[in-house]
Amino acid sequence: MKKLHLFILKSYLGPLAMTFFISLFILVMQFLWRYVDDLVGKGLDFFTLAELMFYASVQVIPMALPLAILLASLMTFGSLGENYELTAIKASGVSLLRTMKSLIYVTIIISVLAFGFSNNVLPWANLKLYTLLWSVKQKKPELEIKEQIFYDGIEDFRIKISSKDPETGLMQDVMIYDHRDSRNPNSNVTLADSGKLQVSEDNGYMKLTLMDGIRFEENVQSQRKRLDDREKQRFRQDKFKKQIALFEMEGHNLERSDEKLFSSNDRMKNLTQLKSGIDTLNMEKNTLLGEVSKQTENFFFQQRRYYQRRNKEAPQLALDSVKSLDYDSLLLAMNDHQKLIAIEGAKRQAQDNRSQLEGKLSRYKNYRQKITRHYMEVHRKFTLSFACFIFFFIGAPLGAIIRKGGLGMPVVISVLFFIFYYIIDTLGAKFANEGAWKVYQGMWLSSAILFPLGVFLTYKSATDSTLLNADAYRIFFQKLFKREKFDLQNRLDREKEDETKSKT
């Protein structure tokens, strides 16, 4: 038995590692495709990109690991069945579950490690990844002036060149528009035969050296002077042999954002932090409800309390008269101007109260949404471990049933199952997030559907069912068609005999 378990382990661990890294690579490429617009043209160095890819790889492990387990178990037992090794094992009296015993232990270990990963490593990776992504998004595009295209990467300036030497970096026919005067943005233009761009060592400034040029400036203030002096002073031009312009490159460097900006997000917390966050949010929500209750009570009963405070030492008869006061008679006793003032005042108070209540209602919904997401994240840390366990009990018996190894049929079946799982999991999370379902119902929907399927496939495989055996279906249809062909031939023969008898 030890040799059998070692043989099964060797057959399983190799495909598991291979499929895990293949899945990881595909998911990282999908991540890059999603954020390619935020990364291209930012001039990121190799180490920043490598850091980003590392955090992205850690983040997609919860999706890559279940897929790898499903594919590896399906490939392993499919290959054993295809090479009749599984048949020989069963013929020696070893059941399928005993054959899977060593891999079940491995899957349990992987599931426990997956929970530890989700609780400790994944929040850290999410915090690092999204902080770095935010920093990259805030970074301005790399300074690159293209030919015959106005470059607007420098604030308040537009630069255009006709050609550029890729080796020396010398630019020809440089045109610079100065838009710092917002009232007349095209009043300052500089033309130069050539120019060269250099960046300071600290990347804080850009030095543009212009050669043999002229600067045109329109003096808008001169239009207020006398007509005879206006034409002389309105336009100004300065010729130069060499001119150096310095531009501040604010935002072109990658500035790391503070991680505290994202640390309150539910995806950046472990179980302890999530529970603490839920308690804090519930306390803040209850405090808000108390404020709403107090505000509503003050709005509707403040007049009665005012009269009670004012007449607290008056006879009880006076208090009873205030309580039984007919407000309609007071309104009828007013003239039109007084009525208008009273109605406008009441309307203004109602609108103010409504505006305050709407703001607090929005805050209340925000608290509920945050609490829901915290609970979703708590359940998600357990669903990953359970998904690894379920996918093993789907892949292993399914491979034993279909008896196909390699990367052909197992890949197709694994991808279909994983897509089905991903769609169900996404829908469940969506319903839970929107409040249509309870959190545990939405987060465990995929597991509740796939777990019975795993039990069913394990039972069918243990009983040598031909449920998904392609050869069995092929033989069945061959027999069916042969039988139909035989019945058709008999019917034709009978019809021929009847026709012969009728002629005689």
pLDDT tens per residue, range 323-380: 555 556 666 777 777 778 878 887 887 888 788 888 888 888 888 889 999 999 999 9
pLDDT band per the 50, 70, 90 thresholds, residue 448: very high
Q: Do 402 and 409 contact (CB within 8 A), yes or no? A: yes
For residue 502, being part of any structural domain is answered with yes
For residue 305, being part of any structural domain is answered with yes
Do 440 and 479 fall within a single domain?
no
Do 290 and 358 fall within a single domain?
yes
Domain-terminating residue out of 180, 213, 248:
248
Do 18 and 112 fall within a single domain?
yes
Tokens at 205, concatenated: 């400034």
List the beta bridge partners of residue 245: 208
pLDDT at residue 91, rounded to an integer: 82
Domain-terminating residue out of 204, 219, 248:
248
pLDDT at residue 303, rounded to an integer: 53
For residue 148, being part of any structural domain is answered with no
- Burial category of 179 from C-beta neighbours within 10 Å (exposed 0-12, middle 13-18, buried 19 and up): middle
Do 124 and 231 fall within a single domain?
no
Do 350 and 425 fall within a single domain?
no
For residue 358, being part of any structural domain is answered with yes
Q: Do 175 and 160 contact (CB within 8 A), yes or no? A: yes
Residue 179: domain span: 157-248
Q: Do 57 and 28 contact (CB within 8 A), yes or no? A: yes
pLDDT at residue 427, rounded to an integer: 93
pLDDT tens for 54-102 read 999 999 998 899 999 999 998 888 888 888 888 888 888 888 888 888 8
For residue 237, being part of any structural domain is answered with yes
Do 13 and 116 fall within a single domain?
yes
DSSP class per residue in 90-130: HHTT--HHHHTHHHHHHHHHHHHHHHHIIIIIHHHHHHHHH
Q: Do 104 and 425 contact (CB within 8 A), yes or no? A: no
* Pick from 14, 2, 7, 3: nearest CA to 75: 14
Tokens at 267, concatenated: 């995806």
**Alpha carbons 406 and 412: distance in angstroms, whole number:** 11
Instruction: Examine the pLDDT at 385 and tell me if it is beyond 70.
Output: yes
Structural domains in the chain (count): 4
CA 254 to centroid of chain Cα atoms? 23
Do 42 and 77 fall within a single domain?
yes
Instruction: Examine the pLDDT at 108 and tell me if it is beyond 90.
Output: yes
For residue 254, being part of any structural domain is answered with no
**Alpha carbons 10 and 191: distance in angstroms, whole number:** 72
Do 209 and 301 fall within a single domain?
no
For residue 225, being part of any structural domain is answered with yes
Query: Torsion angle, CA of 54/40/127/19, rounded to 10 degrees?
Result: -40
Do 406 and 367 fall within a single domain?
no
For residue 263, being part of any structural domain is answered with no
- What's the CA angle centered on 448, arms 446 and 449, to 5 degrees? 65
Instruction: Examine the pLDDT at 317 and tell me if it is beyond 50.
Output: no
Q: Which helix (H) or strand (E) holds 444?
A: none
Strand 170-178 to 157-160 pairing? antiparallel
pLDDT tens for 116-125 read 999 999 999 9
Rg (CA), the chain: 39
Backbone angles phi and psi of 84, in degrees to 5: 60, 15
- What's the CA angle centered on 343, arms 339 and 345, to 5 degrees? 120
**Alpha carbons 115 and 62: distance in angstroms, whole number:** 10
